[in-house]
């Protein structure tokens, strides 16, 4: 390879290279999880709550199990594959919903702070500082204790995770964009603030916000699974990956697969999004999109 080509590639303007194998695996795995998230319950061989006490704690295939329960069964004889598919749907739904809600809320507040300045900005920044200071798990537990739990409350609660990051980024970028010619030009043409922020500034700051979402998503997956593991998140009969790990804990010695299968799913999901986020960040940095 000539030096010129090397330099071009280094500057990010050369021929596009395919992403590394790990990134391809991560994208493939996330695609599969998303498909399961969309169609999980229809793919499940059994109802995830169907109990079969005669077939309790059956091991998965390869460890003495049979094809009728490929991933084995739990302490009540419920099929683990079916439970896993339903749990993935629940966890993906909650994590996607909470990430999107958090991004919308944070970005709107960030834009509001950048537009209004003054007292409004100071109040939003004080809230940002407060949220960044307190560990989110503690705030979440306090809210769950005071208000109680239901699926919409739980999702709204997780949406509060990381809103301050979007707010800070959106405010900073909007202040920067306001100082640039294009925002001023649209302003002079008489566009409304909503139009300027949504149609002109937002597309320009989208790349950075998407990278932030890839940081927030695995964190939300981990917080959701942690709370569900503690028995304070998703409530039965609904199930999520974290609550599956929580139930599996009591059978750690006799049936470790109940715990290991959902635990591995949580970790690989979070790992895949993290790898994808790192890769996206590198790409945006190289192409100067940030």
Our CB check for another protein shows the closer of 11 and 142 to be 142
Contacts of 113 (CB under 8 A, 6+ apart): 120, 121, 124, 125, 167, 171
Which letter, b or e, does each residue of 79-111 get, where b requires 16 or more Cβ atoms within 10 Å of its Cβ?
Answer: bbbbbbbbbbbbbbbbbbbbbebbbebbbbbbb
Our CB check for another protein shows the closer of 28 and 193 to be 28
How many CB atoms sit inside 10 A of residue 7's CB?
A: 11
**CA pair distance 65, 51, nearest whole angstrom:** 18
Binding mask 223-262 for another protein (x = CB under 8 A): --xx--xxxx---------x--x---x--xx--x--x---
Name the minimum Å distance from CB 92 to another protein. Answer: 16
Residues near another protein (CB under 8 A), total: 42
Q: Quick one: which of 11, 147, 194, 206 contacts another protein (CB under 8 A)?
A: 147
Q: Quick one: which of 57, 96, 101, 141 contacts another protein (CB under 8 A)?
A: 141
CA-to-CA dists, residue 215 to 96, 113, 281, angstroms: 12, 23, 10
**Cβ proximity of 262 and 90 under 8 Å:** no
Q: For residues 105-134, which are near another protein according to CB under 8 A?
A: 126-127, 129-130, 133-134
Residues in the site for another protein, rule: CB under 8 A?
126-127, 129-130, 133-139, 141-148, 218, 222, 225-226, 229-232, 242, 245, 249, 252-253, 256, 259, 263, 266-267, 270-271, 274-275, 278
């Amino acid at each position: 390879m000539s030096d010129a080509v090397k330099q071009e590639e280094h500057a990010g303007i050369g021929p596009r290279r395919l992403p590394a194998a790990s990134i391809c695996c991560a994208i493939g795995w996330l695609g599969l999880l998303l498909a399961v998230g969309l169609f999980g319950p229809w793919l499940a061989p059994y109802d995830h709550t169907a109990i079969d006490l005669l077939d309790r704690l059956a091991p998965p295939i390869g460890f003495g199990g049979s094809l009728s329960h490929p991933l084995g069964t739990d302490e009540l004889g419920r099929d683990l594959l079916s439970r896993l598919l339903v749990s993935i749907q629940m966890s993906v739904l909650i994590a996607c919903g909470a990430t999107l809600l958090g991004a919308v809320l944070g970005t709107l507040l960030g834009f509001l702070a950048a537009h209004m300045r003054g007292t409004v900005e100071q109040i939003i920044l004080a809230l940002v500082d407060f949220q960044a200071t307190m560990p989110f798990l503690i705030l979440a537990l306090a809210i769950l204790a005071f208000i109680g739990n239901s699926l919409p409350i739980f999702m709204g609660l997780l949406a509060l995770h990381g809103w301050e990051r979007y707010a800070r980024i959106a405010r900073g970028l909007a202040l920067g964009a306001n100082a640039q010619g294009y925002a001023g030009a649209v302003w002079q043409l008489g566009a409304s603030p909503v139009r300027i922020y949504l149609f002109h500034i937002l597309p320009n700051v989208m790349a950075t916000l998407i990278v932030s979402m890839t940081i927030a998503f695995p964190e939300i997956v981990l917080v959701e699974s942690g709370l569900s593991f503690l028995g304070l998140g998703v409530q039965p009969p609904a199930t999520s990956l974290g609550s599956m790990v929580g139930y599996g804990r009591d059978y750690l010695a006799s049936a470790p697969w109940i715990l290991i299968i959902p635990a591995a799913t949580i970790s690989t999901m979070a790992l895949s999004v993290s790898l994808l986020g790192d890769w996206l960040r590198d790409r945006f940095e190289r192409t100067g999109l940030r």
